[in-house]
Amino acid sequence: MRPVKNLLKTWHGTKPSQAPPPSDEAAQRAQVRMAVFEDIERGHSGWFWATDAAGCLSYISPAACERFGLSAETLIGEPFTSLFETDPENPGERSDRPLQFLFGAHSRLSDVTVRLVPARCAPGARPAWWALSGQPKIDVAKPGSEGAFHGYRGSARDITQEYERRIEDSRLAEFDSLTGLANRHRISRRFDSMLAAFKGTMRPATLMMLDLDRFKQVNDTLGHPAGDELLRQVAQRLTRVVGTAGEIGRLGGDEFQILLADQEDRGKLGELADKIIGLISQPYQIDDNHVVIGVSIGMAIAPFDGTEREDIVRAADLALYAAKHGGRGQFRFYSSDLKDEKEERRLLEDALRDAIASVDGTDDSWDAPQLSMVYQPVVRTDDHAVVGFEALMRWEHPQRGAIPPSVFIPVAEDTGMILQLGAWALRQAARDAAAWPHPLRIAVNVSAVQFAHPDFPGIVSDVLDANGLDPERLELELTESVFMGDGETTDAAFKALKLLGVRLALDDFGTGYSSLSYLRAAPFDKLKVDRSFVESCTLSDQNSAKIIAAIIGLADALGMETTVEGVEAFDQRDVVCAKGARLIQGYLYSHPLEQAALLERMAAGELYIPPDGPKRHRPDRRSVYRRIGVIHEDHRYEALLRNLSATGAGIEGLVGVPVGTSLVLDLGAGQLAVVTVSRSEDATIGVEFETPLVSDGAGGLVTRYRASPYALATAARMVSSSAPQFLEVEVRKRA
Would you call 23 exposed, middle or buried from its count of C-beta atoms within 10 A (0-12, 13-18, 19+)? exposed
Task: Kindly state whether residue 610 falls inside one of the protein's structural domains.
Answer: no
Report which DSSP code applies to 130.
E
Residue 510 belongs to a domain with what CATH number?
A: 3.20.20.450
User: pLDDT digits over 582-607, tens only?
Assistant: 999 999 999 999 999 999 999 888 89
3-state secondary structure of 478: strand
Q: Examine the domain organization and report whether 417 and 486 are in the same domain.
A: yes
Q: Which amino acid is at 214?
A: R
Residue 26 belongs to a domain with what CATH number?
A: 3.30.450.20
Q: Examine the domain organization and report whether 87 and 185 are in the same domain.
A: no
pLDDT tier, 643 (very low <50, low <70, confident <90, very high otherwise): confident
For position 116, what pLDDT does the model report?
82
**Contact between residue 667 and residue 696 where contact means Cβ atoms under 8 Å apart:** no
- Give the number of other Cβ atoms within 10 Å of residue 605's Cβ: 9
Q: State how many domains the chain has.
A: 4
Q: Is the pLDDT of residue 11 over 50?
A: no
Could you tell me how far CA 611 lies from the centroid of its own chain? 40
Who's near 524: CB < 8 A, 6+ residues apart? 504, 505, 506, 518, 560
For position 317, what pLDDT does the model report?
92
Q: Examine the domain organization and report whether 150 and 183 are in the same domain.
A: no
User: pLDDT digits over 513-547, tens only?
Assistant: 556 666 776 789 999 998 888 888 887 767 888 99
Least confident range of 136-145, 146-155, 683-692, 715-724? 715-724
**Contact between residue 72 and residue 60 where contact means Cβ atoms under 8 Å apart:** yes
Task: Kindly state whether residue 48 falls inside one of the protein's structural domains.
Answer: yes
Please give, one letter per residue, the 3-state secondary structure of 625-671: EEEEEEEECCEEEEEEEEEECCCEEEEECEECCCCCCEEEEEEECCE
Residue that terminates a domain, selected from 166, 187, 204:
166
Q: Examine the domain organization and report whether 635 and 541 are in the same domain.
A: no
Q: Examine the domain organization and report whether 681 and 711 are in the same domain.
A: yes
Task: Kindly state whether residue 353 falls inside one of the protein's structural domains.
Answer: no
| Cα 207 from Cα 256, distance rounded (Å) | 11
Task: Kindly state whether residue 551 falls inside one of the protein's structural domains.
Answer: yes
For position 26, what pLDDT does the model report?
77
First to last CA, the chain: 96
Domain that holds residue 53: 4-166
Residue 645 belongs to a domain with what CATH number?
A: 2.40.10
Least confident range of 244-248, 285-289, 427-431? 285-289
**Contact between residue 623 and residue 642 where contact means Cβ atoms under 8 Å apart:** yes
Mean local confidence (pLDDT), 89-100: 54
Task: Kindly state whether residue 497 falls inside one of the protein's structural domains.
Answer: yes
Q: Which amino acid is at 264?
A: E
Residue that terminates a domain, selected from 117, 141, 166:
166
For position 360, what pLDDT does the model report?
74
H-assigned helices in 325-404: 341-357
pLDDT tier, 15 (very low <50, low <70, confident <90, very high otherwise): very low
Residue 318 belongs to a domain with what CATH number?
A: 3.30.70.270
Task: Kindly state whether residue 700 falls inside one of the protein's structural domains.
Answer: yes
Cis amide linkage into residue 303, ω under 30° from 0: yes
| Cα 249 from Cα 176, distance rounded (Å) | 8
Q: Examine the domain organization and report whether 315 and 243 are in the same domain.
A: yes
Q: Is the pLDDT of residue 89 over 60?
A: no
Over its C-alpha atoms, the chain yields an Rg (Å, rounded) of: 37
Least confident range of 290-294, 348-352, 601-605, 688-692? 290-294
Q: Which amino acid is at 632?
A: H
Q: Examine the domain organization and report whether 686 and 572 are in the same domain.
A: no
Closest CA to 476 of 449, 446, 456: 446
H-assigned helices in 579-637: 595-603
Q: Is the pLDDT of residue 100 over 90?
A: no
**Contact between residue 569 and residue 603 where contact means Cβ atoms under 8 Å apart:** no
Helical (H) or strand (E) element with 521: helix 516-521
Report which DSSP code applies to 593.
B
Task: Kindly state whether residue 67 falls inside one of the protein's structural domains.
Answer: yes
User: pLDDT digits over 427-471, tens only?
Assistant: 999 999 999 999 999 999 999 889 988 899 999 999 999 999 999
Q: Examine the domain organization and report whether 704 and 562 are in the same domain.
A: no
Q: Is the pLDDT of residue 400 over 90?
A: no
Closest CA to 127 of 102, 100, 93, 158: 158
Average pLDDT of the chain to the nearest whole number: 84
What are 631's strand-pairing partners?
636, 664
Helical (H) or strand (E) element with 10: helix 4-11
Q: Examine the domain organization and report whether 472 and 334 are in the same domain.
A: no
Q: Is the pLDDT of residue 399 over 50?
A: yes
Q: Examine the domain organization and report whether 585 and 690 are in the same domain.
A: no
For position 710, what pLDDT does the model report?
62
Q: Examine the domain organization and report whether 249 and 180 are in the same domain.
A: yes
Who's near 462: CB < 8 A, 6+ residues apart? none
pTM of the model: 0.61
Residue that terminates a domain, selected from 288, 319, 338:
338
**Contact between residue 64 and residue 40 where contact means Cβ atoms under 8 Å apart:** no
Task: Kindly state whether residue 249 falls inside one of the protein's structural domains.
Answer: yes
Q: Examine the domain organization and report whether 153 and 283 are in the same domain.
A: no
**Residues across the chain:** 735
Mean local confidence (pLDDT), 60-68: 83
| Cα 373 from Cα 405, distance rounded (Å) | 12
| Cα 576 from Cα 611, distance rounded (Å) | 14
